[in-house]
Amino acid sequence: MKMSGNTVLVTGGGSGIGRALAEEFHKRSNQVVISGRRQSALDEVTKANPGMKALTVDMADKQSVAAFAAELTKLAPDLNVVLNNAGIMTPEDILAAPKYVDIAEDTIATNLLGPIRLTAALLPHLLKQKDAAVLTVSSGLAFVPLAMTPTYSATKAAIHSYSLSLRERLKDTPVQVIEIAPPYVQTTLMGERQASDPNAMPLADFIAETMQILTDNPDAKEVIVTRCEPLRYAVEQGNFDAVFTNLNAQQH
């Protein structure tokens, strides 16, 4: 994908990876629209980045996504890049079944149905653009799951699979499909502790490496930073069991 001159939507752009990516695209002469559930968070970002626009949406709600897509194409008629970043990650106590099912359902609605619904709603518009791209955000946990967040890991594995199929079906169109798979990054996705966890990759480092990969490889299908390679390629390297055991042992 081209790195400037786009009109870019970043879902979940009010904080964390979404905000950081939105700000980087904004710096590179792109028109950026961010979305999220909390107006206050969006206002904070747009205030800090003059020219950036924002719309609220509940990615877990089918009607909200449909209304958002319609409003977005009016606000940003030149929209050609959609970055599906919004997501939630909540631990689930499997042994407390069935109490965790509400968490599982919310996670699926936000992390999986949300991007599918939004991409489907915007695809007719994107297909009319000269240079378009759909970027999906999966996770290293799509490839080696974290047992304490089973549904989150499953939704990210599904996003990986969905990205593969979407890319194949759109290969003869102007729409490029790029999957970004973050490792464990210093954000507040699972609370304030994660934001300062020394075991997590600094957010600035992740964003810098991600943008460099996108810049150096305009035809990239996946964006895998070095820190995520042990998870992404565990199966290919024949050490999945060891990586899985080590990852989950750290959580006890």
* Residue 126, C-beta contacts closer than 8 angstroms, at least 6 positions apart: 79, 80, 82, 132, 134, 174, 175
- Reference 17, options 124, 130, 135, 150; nearest CA is 135
Residue 165 to residues 61, 116, 233: CA-CA distances in angstroms? Answer: 24, 12, 20
Catalytic pick among 100, 152, 162, 233: 152
CB 231 within 8 A of CB 183: yes
The pair of structure tokens assigned to 16 is 């964390």
Sign of the CA dihedral running 237, 242, 243, 244: positive
In angstroms, rounded to a whole number, what is the distance separating the alpha carbons of residues 118 and 121?
A: 5
152 is annotated as an active-site residue: yes
Got the DSSP string for 153-192? HHHHHHHHHHHHHHHHHTTTSSEEEEEE---SBSSSTT-H
In angstroms, rounded to a whole number, what is the distance separating the alpha carbons of residues 208 and 81?
A: 19
Active site residues: 152
